[in-house]
Structure 1
Amino acid sequence: MEKPRADRFIEAMGEGVEQAFHELAGEILNEGALSAKDKSLIALACSVAVRCEHCTKRHLESARRAGASREAILEAAGVAALVRMGSGLNTAAVLLDEMQENDVD
């Protein structure tokens, strides 16, 4: 199986970059004020919101390993989809502003 593009890119940047990326990811995703499960659900939701299919699959695996239920995973993805839809509506509303500024009916 071929490595994901992002992984190949990080490797191509050199061992130092690859190591630094993995260390940073590990530090951010470690238990803290948020549990590993909560962090994995946040990562999953972000992946859905930015529409990264590979990331979504990878974070789904992490969420399952962290003990997230099917219901929690679907709720997190639903929140992400709602945020994505909201940002789409806000972007679309720019058209209203532009048409109003240019007196377009």
Structure 2
Amino acid sequence: MTAKESRVEEFVAALGGEVESAFGRLMAGVMKEGSLSEKDKALIALACSVAVRCEQCIRRHKKVALLKGASREEMLEAAAIA
């Protein structure tokens, strides 16, 4: 775990309770299908994670992108944009 990952985990843990729950609901709403597909949103989230170099976020968004049907090639292309 890097120092950056540790800070992210500490921040999320500090939110706790209702704030953490509200953030989870917000993210679930943002990631729902709309004008963009859930797969496209997952690829955007993956690219953002690469851009900020958050390894924990990259792992999480890679997993979601795969669940939403993204291919390895699509994930690599999204990451290359970052």
Unaligned runs of 5+ in 1: 81-105
Q: Structure 2 residue aligned with 1:68, among 47, 67, 70? A: 70
Distance 1:21 1:27 in 2: 10
The structure whose RCO (Cα within 8 Å, separation 6+) is larger is: 2
Please state how far the C-alpha of 1:14 moved relative to its aligned partner: 3.0
Tell me the TM-score normalized by structure 2: 0.84
> What's the secondary structure of 2:22's corresponding residue?
helix
Question: Percent of counterpart pairs with the same letter?
Answer: 55
Q: Structure 2 residue aligned with 1:49, among 48, 51, 55? A: 51
Structure-to-structure mapping, 1:1-105, within 5 angstroms: 5=6, 6-80=8-82
- The CA deviation string for residues 13-67 of structure 1, in whole angstroms up to 9 with x for no partner, is 2311011100110010011100000000000000001111110111000000000
Unaligned runs of 5+ in 2: none
Tell me the TM-score normalized by structure 1: 0.67
Q: CA RMSD in A?
A: 1.5
